[in-house]
Chains A and B, each alone.
Chain A
Amino acid sequence: MIVGSSITIEIGDRRLLEDASFVVGAGEKVGLVGRNGAGKSSFVSVVIGEPARELRHSGNVAIRGTFGFLPQVPLPRGLGLDPSGFSHVLSGRGLDVLDDAMGKARVQMEKDPSPENIELFSDLEEQFRENGGYEAEATMARIADGLGLRQELLLEEIDKLSGGQRKRLDLVRILFQSPETMILDEPTNHLDMPAKKWLMEELERYPGALLVISHDLSLLDRSISKVLHLADGRLHEFKGTYSSYLIQREESQVRKERVSTLEAREIKRLSTLADSMRGSTVRRARVAKSIDKRVERLESTHTVARRRERVATFKLPVPRRSGGVPISANALGVRYGKLVVLNSVDLSIARGDRVVVIGRNGAGKSSLLRCLAGVQEPSAGEVKLGANVSIGYFAQEHEQIDANLTALENVSDTVLSEESRRRALLGSFGLPAKAAGQLPDTLSGGERAKLGLAMLAAGDANTLLLDEPTNNLDPASITAVAKMLSTWDGTIVVVSHDRAFVNALEPTYCLRLPDEQFTHWRDEYLDEVEAR
């Protein structure tokens, strides 16, 4: 159960939330919605008591009982005693520590079977059993299977897992932990449709309190009992399912707009009437004054309808003409220790091609893009860039963004020399004006993605390498990105699991992993796009 009262959150000179109060009751399933940058993740960070340094906040939040939190961006090393995924998951119930302590106590007991040593071992064994230690592997296997994470990956070191596998591992951990309250930030980001459905069914059965931020809330529609909508610094509460929230919100918006229009019309009418009475007789001047007072009263209680969210439109500059074959790879191989990720990739991408890289999590898609972008040395083979090629790289975890520079400073001034144009560019990608001065770490996941796209737009790239560019973006922005890329004349290589996005992109070629087949695009490959 979560109880929050009078919460105000500010970052820089942006007020994300003002005087908000809410309750997530025991067993209640609550969706938290709002556009990118509205402050959802910041709000959640305050709720769990781990706000970023840059956030200023006031008010009270209390979480009763145990709770688990799934962050939008996974922690780099994990939380287990050793760096394996297995240990990370066990740590959800403290079983990694217990298992280790039990092993030590057993060795001690073997050396000296004193009553104290036996009792210590027995206590630890009992706790291990109580916390489900003996069923841990079976439980973990069931969850991993549902989420489409191969079980052998649980034994791998976390650092060797791909972004998608890492996110799934965190999901396995929190579902294994099964706390009394669960707070999930974009849990479906890296999941394919079967895994999304499985997760939502699992969450439906979950008996505890749930607060979830997701752009896939429609999948959890039946079990959502309340929606908190974060917009314009206010937390609006809607009772009912997600679909009923959408209807209620639209009705409320229409009602407010109508009332606001009627009030504005009345204010205008009265003001005009008062103006016409002034400069005449004393009596008429007195009436005008009383009308003015009425106008003042009306203005002070004037209903303000929330501005409707703008339909986003993003734009890339016209690219310089590159050579006929901007990128080609010859027997490109990538391996991490003994793990062979890419064996021998051969491809030749022509100017204007839109290439989609398809493959399950861990197939080597991100490694390939890193090699093509020149940020990673391949283990074998070579990458050749054609004449006049300028690469624009969008990394999955946004590594291309310098964390020590502000959003505005990250936008290159080589093409846009005037600051006002760079600010306008950020604005055109949906970043609020005040976000320009913020450090990237203080931006939301969606805002960071938009900053990454704006950085591409500010450069003179004619070949884009995009690794999951739509992750963390709201649906309107995803449509805008797809539209922007489909009409762009440059060369694009993209990794994405978003079916609608890939479809809108109208690809020409496809690289299928792990088969390493570079072929013409066919619409039936769309089914493989979603496979994780």
Chain B
Amino acid sequence: MTTITMPFTISGYSDENSNGAGYVAQEREKVFNYLQMSNALGFAAKGTFQQLEEVFEECSEQSWDGENAKPISKEVLQNAKMFLESFPLGIESPEIGSEPDGAITLEWYRSPSRVISISINPGGWLYYAAIIGSTRRHGMDFALFDVSEDLLALIDEVTWKI
């Protein structure tokens, strides 16, 4: 899989008052947003953010599952967007879903024995669980940080084409 990483901070140009650094940051954001619209590279063009909005619409009321599911909050929606925006370009789009505890889920799936699910929960935390062959992995992270190398490696293992 080919991915393109564009860090949000540029080493040596961290002074926010610097006009040069500000200009570079603005241009970087423009290029990143442009590439997000690329069918090959960006989640935006693949409809991932649209799916997020649809899930929010479907699950924003109490008991949206017909039982006692908790509604998905705007905070969770925003955190899920921010988390997805932190991904490098070129990653396969996840399927978006929802859980009865008010979480938004991102799933990458090849088969029942190659799957990873990430939950964006209220409070800014994310939780993940993966089955990759005989390997089981689960853990937690902070959704407001950029996606970790560890999670990217797990997603890569699931989506890797033989």
Q: Do A and B bind each other?
A: no
